[in-house]
Amino acid sequence: MFWINAPLINVNEEQARLVEWLKGPGELVHQGEMLCILETMKSTFELDAPQKGFFNPISEVNSSVTVGQIIAVLTEEKDQPYEIPQDEVPALVEENNNLPVKRQWTKKAEIIAKRNGLHIENIVSKIGSSTTITEAIISAYIKNSKKKEPTRSTPITKKQGQIERILIIGGGNVAVLVLDILKRLPFQQAIGIVDDNPALIGTTVMGCPVLGNLKKVNQLWREDAFDAAALAIGVLPTRADIFDKFTREGIPFTNIIDPTAIIGEGSEMGSGNMIMGFCRLGPEAVIGENNFLSAYVNIEHHNTMGSHCTFGPNVFMSGGVNIGSHVRFGTGISIEPRITIGDHVTIASGTVLTTHVPDNTLVRTKTNYSF
C-alpha cells in the first residue's frame, strides 16, 4: 500500500486545487503514468504514479488540498480495504468556527527552522499559535532566542564597509579555491588557515599562513583574531561534522560567494555556504547551511535545499526541486522539474534525474561502475 501526498509545487504556496483525476477508482496504474492535474496560482502540475498499484482517489475534483495531504492510495490488490492515517492528513485552518485545527507552517518556515538546528514542532508549541506559522514568525523567534544566548566578552562591532576577517579551516586544494575568491572580494580577507596535517603547519598557501591545527580555532576566537570561519573541506561527512562541532562551540561561519555567481531576487541562504565561480541561485530559491557548490552549479527558481550538501561542477536543476540534507552530487548532473531528493543521498556523475529519490539512496547511471 502506498499513500500519495499532495506535492509542493511552488515554495510560497501551501495549497493547490485538484483539477482532474486522470484515472478511475480501482484502475490498475503503472509507475510514471499521470494520475491527476493540480493547479496553483502560478502553475499547473501533472502528478505521476510513484509505483504500480490499484488506484483509489481520496480527495475530490475541484477540492483544495494542502502540501503533504494524502489525496489517493495505491493498493496491491483491487478492492483492498484501507484506512487513512489521520495523523498524516494536514487540517485546513477554518475561520468563524470553534472546531479544533491542526497547527500549520509554511515550507519556508520549516526550512529556516531546520537550517538553524531547530524542530519546528517545538517552536510551534512554545509560540502557542493556532494560525499558520510563517517564515517571518520563525525568523523573529530565532532572533529573540539569540538575544538570550551568551556572547563573547569582547564582541566585534562591525560597521558598514568594514572588512570581515576570515579564518579558513582546511589547507588542501579547496583552500586554494577559497583564497582565490577572497582575493577578489573587497570586504572579506583571510587572516590564516588551520589544518590537522602537521606538514602544513608553519607553511603558507597562496601567501596565507597555516597557523596551527584545528584545536587552535577556539583560541584564535577568544583572542579576537577573526570574525568568522570558512570551511575549505569539500568531503562529506567530514565537512558536516566539523561545521556542527564548531557551531555548537559558538564559532560563526560566513558565506563565501564568488563575484561571478548570480544570486536571484528573493533567494535565501543560511551560513557557511561555499559558492564557486559562475554558479546561479535562482529567484525565490532557499538553501540551508554549509553547502558546497562547485563551479557552474544552477539552483533554479523556487528550489529548496537543506544543509551539508556538496556539488561537483555542472549540476543543473529545473524549477521546484526539493533537496534534503547531506546530499552528494557528482559532476554533470541534470534534474527535471519538481523532483524531491531525500536526505543522505548520493547521485553519481552523469545522471539525468527524472524521478523522486528517497532517503539513503545511491543513484547511478548504467555507465557508472564506481562512485
- Per-residue pLDDT tens for 277-324? 999 999 999 999 999 999 999 999 999 999 999 999 999 999 999 999
Residues paired with 352 in a beta bridge: 334
Query: How far is residue 192's CA from residue 166's CA, in Å, rounded to a whole number?
Result: 7
Confidence (pTM): 0.60
Contacts of 345 (CB under 8 A, 6+ apart): 324, 326, 327, 328, 357, 359, 360, 361, 362, 363
Quick one: pLDDT band at residue 158, thresholds 50, 70, 90?
very low
Residues paired with 38 in a beta bridge: 18, 45
pLDDT tens digits, one per residue of 109-133: 766 676 666 666 666 655 555 456 7
Query: How far is residue 200's CA from residue 162's CA, in Å, rounded to a whole number?
Result: 30
Q: Select from 42, 35, 32 the least CA-distant residue to 8.
A: 42
Quick one: pLDDT band at residue 341, thresholds 50, 70, 90?
very high
Q: Select from 289, 294, 271 the least CA-distant residue to 164.
A: 271
pLDDT tens digits, one per residue of 160-180: 457 899 999 999 999 999 999
Return the pLDDT at 150: 37
